Structure 1
Amino acid sequence: MNTFVKVSQFAGKTFAIWVLVFAAFAFFLPAQFTWIAPYISILLGVIMFGMGMTISGEDFKEVGRHPIKVIIGVLAQFIVMPSLAFALAKGLRLEPEIAIGVILVGCCPGGTASNVMTFLAKGNTALSVAITSVSTLLAPILTPALIYLLASEWLEVSASAMFMSVVQVVLLPIILGLIVQRFFKKQVQKSVDILPLISVIAIVLIVAAVVSNSKEKIVESGLLIFGIVILHNGLGYLLGYLAGKLFKMPYEDRKAMAIEVGMQNSGLGAALAAAHFSPLAAVPSAIFSFWHNISGPLLATYWARKADRKADRKAA
């Protein structure tokens, strides 16, 4: 088991590299990866099941302790990123499938990676986990509603069909994970350290599936989409931080807000795109998955070093 734990920790730390490597394989050898596409929703369900196994009652106690902060975080999550996505799609006059893809990413809740980045940045990790948990549980309602509201002018959107998809790939797996945790607590505690490895494998396979099925479109629009993803992600960090500052939150809370807003559950975006739209609509989610696992650690490292320097000055 120790070997698996070490491999899991290594995979978590080098996540972005594996996404890039397998995206390259999928691009140059697409026939080897196209078979994965029908299983994208199952792979995301596996990730959400793992999240359910790690959520604890303590995570939701933070909601009771600081409900206003959690509400502000959840509102920022579902207002800032969807609004930015819509503005980018309109402002840059994106073609329908790319516009839908960008909006899909924007309307997703935060991912569990944001909790890790907040911890590394020496931000308020408890607040980050609470916001992620609440936004994920609200996703079956808010994500389809926002996509319907913002994306309908480009393509026909069925909010009810997407609601069922989010329930199936997010809510039900989380509930199952919670049930397993409740009745098999000892076994779950022993296996929880290898969950990062499972999540990395699942996300890597999702990205490979998207890239292999969209190779031609990526050649045409890849640089444009990459630029949009960088802009979307960066502005999310900035506006999330400013939202915390606007409401006079402590510095550690602002860091949590920035990372929570800027990092998305891009696997959900890819799953919804594959199920309801087209392979091209899943490309922004695939690129976002790669990019935010580079930008997040960079931002976390900057904030961690800044905190260390401040601590050193106080100790001197």
Structure 2
Amino acid sequence: MQASIITELFLPLALAIIMFGMGLSLTPNDFKRILIYPKAVAVGLLNQIVLLPLIAFGLIQLFDLQPELAVGVMILSACPGGATSNLITHLAKGDSALSITLTGFSSMITVLSIPFVVNFSLQYFMPGGEVQQLNVIGTVIAVLFITVIPVAIGMVILKKTPAMAARLDKPFRRISIIFFVVIVVAAVFKEREHIVHYFIEAGPVALALNLCTLGVGYFSGRLFGLSRKQSTTVSIESGIQNATLGITVAATLLMNPAMTIPPVIYGLLMFGSAALMIFIGNRQTSV
């Protein structure tokens, strides 16, 4: 993708604003909860950081995706969580505190895991060097500026002026939704000539990845003795990806529009499964 105002300015700015909005709901105590329920946090991070990329890699092999789409799926798998998962967990009657904690930790860890997963994917699926590998240091700095630092600023505002944070929280949630829609529309428009073909090829993988990670997240939680609410939370945190970050990495850092398609498709499909999780969570609570 050639450099443009969208890839060089709007995408990073939009993601930074979304992450700032997430920071408005995070406190230092959210990071201390690992001491309160370490097993739940460990199971959640295992699913998000380790199992998610492994499941994605296995599904790519099973569906035999073309290289660029395969890398796009792997980019997505390196971008777990996000502010959306916190809202869905709340609506699904999950453990909101655990959800926020997992989102906070995964956002910090992905700063280092993204360049590792992406460069491995480029080496494995595109060994001819069609796409230049990410500069690790440069990528870490870029991800810091568009994710961690905006989150930190949001946390500072919440700590110093909670009233202002409360006023900003709802508008920034709405802005996040608007930006996500704009980003998806822009990515689809950029690849409009190939979008149907890409959707046919990458759609089944995206759907399978979404369902597998939701299922593995829930049942791994139950296997390790977590409560239903905690297992539901791990499931949502594993299956609801930060598609906006995936699109930004593909479009801004790799400048490859085809690689944005799997995150776009996944970002659309995951809201269907999210609605199902909300329905199940509320039904179980009312029974």
Asked if these proteins are the same fold (TM beyond 0.5), I'd say yes
Question: Do the aligned partners of 1:226 and 1:284 also contact (CA within 8 Å) in 2?
Answer: yes
| Cα distance change of structure 1 residues 246 and 149 upon mapping to structure 2, 3 Å threshold | farther
How many residue pairs get aligned? The number is: 276
Amino acid at match of 1:123: G
Identity %: 28
Query: Counterparts of 2:124 and 2:105 in 1: how far apart (Å)?
Result: 29
Structure 2 portions without partners, runs of 5+: 127-131
Q: Return the alpha-carbon distance in structure 2 between the equivalents of residues 120 and 295 of structure 1.
A: 13
Counterpart Cα distance in 2 of 1:189 and 1:177: 11
The aligned residue for residue 292 of structure 1 is: 270
Q: 1:87 to 1:159 in 2, by over 3 A?
A: farther
Q: Which of 241, 259, 271 is the equivalent residue of 1:281?
A: 259
Structure 2: distance between partners of 1:190 and 1:285: 31
Contact 1:104 1:147 in 2 (8 A): yes
Deviation at 1:239, TM superposition (A): 0.6
Q: Aligned-pair RMSD on alpha carbons?
A: 1.8
- How far, CA to CA, are the matches of 2:49 and 2:262 in structure 1? 18
SS of aligned partner of 2:93: coil
Using structure 2 for the length normalisation, give the TM-score.
Answer: 0.90
Q: CA deviation at 1:201?
A: 1.1
Kindly indicate whether the alpha-carbon contact (under 8 Å) linking 1:124 and 1:253 is maintained by their aligned counterparts in 2. yes
Give the Å deviation of 1:35. 6.2
- The correspondence of residues 152-231 of structure 1 with structure 2, limited to 5 A, is 152-155=123-126, 156-160=132-136, 161-231=138-208
Q: Which of 263, 269, 277 is the matching residue for 2:246? A: 269
1:118 matched to which residue of 2? 89
Whether the aligned pair in 2 keeps the contact of 1:100 and 1:151 (CA below 8 Å) is: yes
Q: How much has 1:183 moved relative to structure 2?
A: 3.5
User: What letter is aligned with 2:233?
Assistant: A
Aligned mates of 1:226, 1:158 — CA distance in 2:
26
Task: Please report the TM-score for the alignment, with normalisation by the length of structure 1.
Answer: 0.82
Spell out, residue by residue over 1:226-282, the C-alpha distance to the aligned partner (whole angstroms, 9 max, x if none).
Answer: 221111100000111121022111111111111111111111000000021411100
Identify unmatched segments of 5+ residues in structure 1.
Answer: 1-33, 310-316
Q: Summarize deviations over 1:128-152 as a string: whole Å, max 9, x none.
A: 1111111111110122222223442
> Is 1:210–1:279's contact at 8 Å kept on the other side of the alignment?
yes
State the one-letter code of the partner of 2:280: Y
Superposed displacement of residue 305, structure 1? 0.9
1:249 and 2:220 are equivalent in the alignment: no
Is residue 2:36 matched to residue 1:65? yes
Q: Is the 8 A contact 2:60 2:205 kept in 1?
A: no
Rate the CA distance shift 1:91–1:277 in 2: closer, same or farther, 3 A: farther
Misfit runs of 4+, over 6 Å = none
Matched letter for residue 235 of structure 1: C
Which position in structure 1 is the counterpart of 2:24?
53
Q: Contact conserved, 1:37 with 1:209, CA < 8 A, in 2?
A: no
Does the 8 A contact of 2:63 with 2:205 survive in 1?
no
Q: Matched residues in 1 for 2:52 and 2:5: separation?
A: 31
Amino acid at match of 1:148: N
Higher-helix-fraction structure: 1
Are 2:74 and 1:74 equivalent residues in the alignment?
no
Q: Is the 8 A contact 1:270 1:282 kept in 2?
A: yes
